[in-house]
Structure 1
Amino acid sequence: MLKTAVSEKMLKPTGRVVGIIKRNWRPYCGMLSKSDIKESRRHLFTPADRRIPRIRIETRQASALEGRRIIVAIDGWPRNSRYPNGHFVKNLGEVGEKETETEVLLLEHDVPHQPFSQAVLSFLPKMPWSITEKDMKNREDLRHLCVCSVDPPGCTDIDDALHCRELENGNLEVGVHIADVSHFIRPGNALDQESARRGTTVYLCEKRIDMVPELLSSNLCSLRCNVDRLAFSCIWEMNHDAEILKVRFTKSVINSKASLTYAEAQMRIDSAAMNDDITTSLRGLNKLAKILKKRRIEKGALTLSSPEVRFHMDSETHDPIDLQTKELRETNSMVEEFMLLANISVAKKIHEEFSEHALLRKHPAPPPSNYEILVKAAKSKNLEIKTDTAKSLADSLDRADSPTFPYLNTLLRILATRCMMQAVYFCSGMDNDFHHYGLASPIYTHFTSPIRRYADIIVHRLLAVAIGADCTYPELTDKHKLADLCKNLNFRHKMAQYAQRASVAFHTQLFFKSKGIVSEEAYILFVRKNAIVVLIPKYGLEGTVFFEEKDKPKPKLIYDDEVPSLKIEDTVFHIFDKVKVKIMLDSSNLQHQKIRMSLVEPQIPGISILADTPNMDSDEPERKKKKHEK
């Protein structure tokens, strides 16, 4: 009996491919590996995606295509051939150039970025546009309210604005006003279909790939100041303890009194000399937001950390000249609190009205095994992290402080972020687990960014039907169609995240290419069997320091998974230890240039290098040689 149980456990499900129903081939970006045979027309193409095999193509343009990024499509794969056969499609440009590399990362992450077609543009309102009497039907005139927006500097797609005022009964009225994009994008037309296909706006380091045409994103739907704009408003009556007494939703017309940056809003709140209506409104919002945040955290909402970086660009060349981690102010948190509250209030309303057809967003709780690395890392610093509930995790992260190591808490929160699951959109009628783990909320959706997320447009439509401000249509209450839509939205959001990360990685490479070799302090995030993964706080940059290299004698490495630690010769590395590393750009592989890191401190003979030693694998000697020749 026992023997059977053991053998069954050891058995793995196996299968055999008997046929291919549909190929998942797509056009691939990469570079040509020119044949050594002179006059040969047959060459190998190496895709940028390392998972794809090399492709054999025939071309007479091999010399012209060398050193350039090209697109190749697969035609077939003969059973007796080592490589699939394909054909040349398009020349994207010189490898390493910004435009070329941006095009490659958009194509490789399947981000739709072609200009909007005439069919799509034909559904935009004719200019000049103004609000008509027909637009005012089922809409409240809120232009008298002291509404303002708070956004990052240079933001042109302003999709949310806020107001706060005292009522005659002593309570407070707080409003979140969201651009009424669904007024301009009607169900089923070409503009709607294209927005649904794109799913989200993609923000790269120096470029924005809009989900909706610019006329809407930066003009008619952008809640700029001193212009009348159509909005969808969520208005609460609250007491001074931020307890909600009433909530109502209405389509509206607003006229924003100011478009502020986070810094400008913060300056107004902090300035004793300013007491105008906008500043009073901001102070009221800020005070309530602090209470809301405290209450949310008490319920078990997580405050996690990620080393987000931003680049300062040269205004002429658009090259990154400085790289720093983003600074968050109180006003960032103020806006976030009211956006979260609006999203939760709307989620409750649409689920009440459409229990089977609400588009919601959930964040699953991670399985306990995900937390192993976090618990071990904390234990190595004599700290205990409890992970049985979001509340116990949040509380133990709050307690995990070290007076001698103030950055430890941030590192633990960064590590906790890596343990999390991905948040996803879903249809309420196709699922029964609605909980949002990170926000500790039983129900959640996206309502506050319809300019840049298609999910919000659907939520606006559901809410408009729920309050009788718009008519419904068959697809809106078809849960199978909604489930398919959620599947595409989840895919598009995931790809947008990957593309954004790839853009940051590329601009980081450009930054270090111009900066040359630098040495910086870093903290160990993970310990591997032959390497350490480090985070450099100054740049929010993560990288791996390998201790085993080709053509070099192998050092004596002892890895302990329990602690976790890595012993090299007589030096032991633990998670969160402080080290010093050298950063440089390795350009030895043109197609996959990468940031390389080497250990400077602690000094280990044969492993550590001097801070100012150039690495012979990088392009540094070549760069210096060219400079000298000039």
Structure 2
Amino acid sequence: MIRSHLLLMMMVCFSFFDASHFSYLMDVSVISEDDNEDDVRLVPNSADDAPRNTNSTQSTVGSSAASVPSRPVGRVVGIIKRNWNSYCGSLEPMPMPAGSGGVAHALFVSKDRRIPKIRIQTRQLGNLLNKRIIVAVDSWDVMSRYPSGHYVRTIGDIGDKETETEVVLIENDINTRPFSTQVLACLPPLPWTLSPEDVANPNRQDLRHVRVFSVDPPGCRDIDDALHCTPLPNGNFEVGVHIADVTNFVHPGTPLDEEASQRATSVYLVGQRIDMLPKPLTEDVCSLRADVERLAFSVIWEMTPDADIISSRYTKSVIKSCAAMSYVEAQARMDDSRLADPLTVDLRNLNSLAKIMRNRRCERGALTLASAEVKFEIDSETHDPLDIGIYQIREANQMIEEFMLAANVSVAEKILQHYPLCSLLRRHPSPTKEMLEPLLRTASSVGLNLDVSSSKALAESLDNAKRDDPYFNKLIRILATRCMTQV
């Protein structure tokens, strides 16, 4: 019995109230091995664990088990731990109690509207009003409408830029702490240079003779991708996408690997970036800067002038970029008819191929959406925004986007070929009728009839949604983006 119980023990999320609110305050339960049990209850005498809405839970579990006989069922026998998180928000406005020097009761309103109000006691109510504060939940009495918690700390004034930025980071559990000494100790010593072992590695191809270049936003320091486009004697092109080989420096099980896995991604704000990996690695050792030798992963195609892929190969590589350009610089080169140097010719060839690839994707039903891409003019002293403008998308931007997509598709096909059981398909679910309603209602109000029967039909409708205002089509695409299901 004990052995079977251990084998069948698992952790599940369980909500006693409205799932949209209270599941965030519960964490895990233990499921027993009694498959014939369809009731859900807590261990008696567990602190503030009185069952609520037991009957509705029973019927839900029972009906699910009846409709799907093979689905295992069980009963909750205990709460392993409570998911009492800390939350950012402010105190509900209220009159100051008489004799404000004593303990005052207040209701805390979280920025996350899914969280119920939290009752706290404080002696410094006057100092906490109009502030963003952090409150932690302690318990939830069975007879109480609200959970009880305690004040943790003050973030800052409501509406202050730095305060609200910190609230966003805390609410999304973004780790902003500096990298630890143990993590930094995993980095190679600077300045880093290519070693003879790297070049002699039979699994790494030496591509330093190839005319590789990068195109990125202005001021980019962590250049993680580069390209090349070399004409072949048969009239085709050899096109390569090269991605910085970070894995050469991030070894499994190290503090650096553990920290990166916890952070998961770099986070970009308007005036701040929180890195997944330390800057010495991303902005120096792995950055594919011009005129320095760097390690990369490369996918290399032979393409016809019509952008048909004849062959593909994948390799670890050593590259030496000849130029690190911004989108504006690359576009200026392509547009200047007086320039005919090899680098400019490579850019024009890539752009020609990218246009064909983009048109082909759109013909197959690819949906081009948009987001509110804006740029800010920032005061150099106060760092306050002075002006705002629309970020201009050029052919150079679309060229890079197209080849990054092509590289992802090729690598995905290679992974599927060799590891079919470990491959995952990312598929965006179709938006529901309710999700599309705001878009259709807005379009109808300005005389537009959007066909949402398929992605291709919607793409064609959006292409035809034009007015005299140059930003009109952009706004319609932004509305369409908001209707899509996020995954």
TM-score (norm 2): 0.77
1:89 maps to 2:131: no
Q: Name the % identity.
A: 54
Aligned Cα root-mean-square deviation (Å): 2.6
- Which residue of the partner structure matches residue 218 of structure 1? 283
Structure 1 residue corresponding to 2:163, chosen from 79, 84, 100: 100
Question: Which of 114, 128, 137 is the equivalent residue of 1:74?
Answer: 137
Does residue 148 (structure 1) correspond to residue 148 (structure 2)? The answer is no
Separation of aligned partners in 2, 1:413 and 1:63: 47
1:130 aligns with 2:189: no
74, 90, 98: which one aligns with 1:37: 98
CA gap of 1:92–1:281, structure 2 versus 1, over 3 A, is same
Matches of 1:236 and 1:363, distance apart in 2: 28
Give yes or no for the alignment of 1:417 onto 2:481: yes
Long gaps (5+) in structure 2:
1-54, 61-75
Answering whether residue 172 of structure 2 is matched by residue 109 of structure 1, we say yes
Q: Determine helix, strand or coil for the equivalent of 2:422.
A: coil
**In the alignment, what sits opposite 2:396?**
331
Q: Name 1:166's counterpart in structure 2.
A: 231
The separation in 1 between residues aligned to 2:77 and 2:151, in whole angstroms, is: 28
Question: Could you give the per-residue CA deviations for residues 85-105 of structure 1, whole angstroms, max 9, x where no partner exists?
Answer: 322322323443333222111
**Among 278, 303, 315, which residue is 2:368 paired with?**
303
Q: Distance in 2 between matches of 1:204 and 1:373?
A: 28
Question: Higher mean Cα deviation, 127-136 or 171-180?
Answer: 127-136
Match for 2:57 among 10, 15, 27? 15
1:38-79, Cα deviation, whole Å (9 max, x unpaired): 221234244333443443434444455454332221111233
Cα distance in 2, alignment partners of residues 392 and 59 from structure 1: 58
2:10 alignment partner in structure 1: none
C-alpha displacement of 1:271: 1.0
Work out the CA distance in 2 between the residues paired with 1:295 and 1:102: 41
Corresponding residue number in structure 2 for 1:386: 451
Amino acid at match of 1:415: L
1:287 maps to what in 2? Answer: 352
Q: 1:412 to 1:285 in 2, by over 3 A?
A: same
Task: Letter of the 1:87 partner, please give it.
Answer: H
Which is further off, 96-105 or 264-273?
Answer: 96-105
Preserved contact between residue 368 and residue 387 of structure 1 (Cα < 8 Å) = no
What residue number does 1:435 align with?
A: none
**CA separation of 1:102/1:418 partners in 2, compared to 1, >3 Å: closer, same or farther?**
closer
1:26 partner amino acid? N
Partners of 2:248 and 2:427 in 1: CA distance: 27
> Which runs of 5 or more residues in structure 1 are unaligned?
1-12, 425-630
Structure 1 residue 373: Cα displacement: 4.4
Change (3 A) 1:405 1:266: closer
After TM superposition, give the deviation of residue 227 of structure 1 in Å: 1.3
One-letter amino acid matched to 1:147: V
Where does 1:508-519 land on structure 2 (aligned, <5 Å)?
Answer: none
The answer as to whether partners of 2:97 and 2:104 remain within 8 angstroms in 1 is no
The one-character-per-residue Cα deviations of 1:257-313 (angstroms, maximum 9, x if unpaired) are 111111111011111222222211111111111111111111111112222222111
Q: Per-residue deviation at 1:348?
A: 0.3
Partner of 1:604 in structure 2? none
Moved more, 364-373 or 236-245: 364-373
**Residues 20/105 of structure 1: CA separation in 2 closer, same or farther (3 Å cut):** farther
Asked if 2 retains the 8 angstrom alpha-carbon contact of 1:32 and 1:43, the reply is no
8 A contact 1:42–1:56 mirrored in 2: no
Q: Do structure 1's residue 228 and structure 2's residue 307 form an aligned pair?
A: no
Is the partner of 1:169 in helix, strand or coil?
Answer: coil
Indicate how the Cα distance of structure 1 residues 374 and 104 shifts in structure 2: closer, same or farther if over 3 A, else same: closer
The equivalent position to 1:342 in structure 2, one of 404, 407, 417, is: 407
1:256 paired to 2:321: yes
Q: Which residue number in structure 2 is paired with residue 551 of structure 1?
A: none
1:368-383 aligned at under 5 Å gives the runs 370-379=435-444, 383=448
- Within 5 Å, give how 1:55-70 maps onto structure 2: 55-70=118-133
1:48 maps onto 2:106 in alignment? no
Q: Distance in 2 between matches of 1:208 and 1:359?
A: 29
SS for the counterpart of 1:361 is: coil
Which residue of structure 1 lines up, in the alignment, with residue 330 of structure 2?
265
User: Which residue of the partner structure matches residue 399 of structure 1?
Assistant: 464
Bigger mean CA deviation after superposition, 15-24 or 223-232: 15-24
Q: 1:392 to 1:65 in 2, by over 3 A?
A: closer
Alignment of 1:24 onto 2:86: no
Query: 1:606 matched to which residue of 2?
Result: none
Q: Conserved in 2, the CA contact under 8 Å of 1:269 and 1:282?
A: yes
Describe the superposition over 1:205-256 as per-residue Cα deviations: whole angstroms up to 9, x where unpaired.
1000111111122221221112111111111111111111111111111111
**Can you list the C-alpha shifts for 1:115-165, whole angstroms capped at 9, x where unaligned?**
222232232222232222332311111112221111111222211111111
Letter of the 2:480 partner, please give it.
Answer: A
Equivalent residue number for residue 261 of structure 2: 196
1:377, CA displacement in angstroms? 4.6
8 Å Cα contact 2:137/2:149 also seen in 1: yes
CA deviation after TM superposition for structure 1 residue 379, in Å: 4.8
8 Å contact 1:238–1:245 — kept in the other structure? yes
- Normalised by the length of structure 1, the TM-score is 0.61
Q: Any idea what SS the aligned residue of 1:144 has?
A: coil
Shift of 1:413: 2.4
TM-aligned CA distance change 1:312 to 1:123, over 3 Å: same
Aligned to 2:240: 175
Q: For residue 107 of structure 1, what is the amino acid of its counterpart? A: I
Tell me the secondary structure at the aligned position of residue 362 of structure 1.
coil
Alignment of 1:554-593 (within 5 A): none
Show CA shifts across 1:468-527 (max 9, x none). xxxxxxxxxxxxxxxxxxxxxxxxxxxxxxxxxxxxxxxxxxxxxxxxxxxxxxxxxxxx
Q: Equivalent residue of 1:280, what SS?
A: helix
Structure 1 CA distance for aligned equivalents of residues 346 and 432 of structure 2: 43
Whole-angstrom distance in 2 between the partners of 1:244 and 1:55: 60
Q: Is the 8 A contact 2:243 2:297 kept in 1?
A: yes
Deviations 1:347-379 (A, max 9, x none): 100010100112543222334554444445545
Q: Distance in 2 between matches of 1:20 and 1:294?
A: 58
Please name the residue that 1:365 is paired with.
Answer: 430
Query: RCO higher in 1 or 2 (8 Å CA, sep ≥ 6)?
Result: 1
Give, in whole Å, the separation in 2 of the partners of 1:223 and 1:95. Answer: 42
- Partners of 1:19 and 1:238 lie apart in 2 by 62
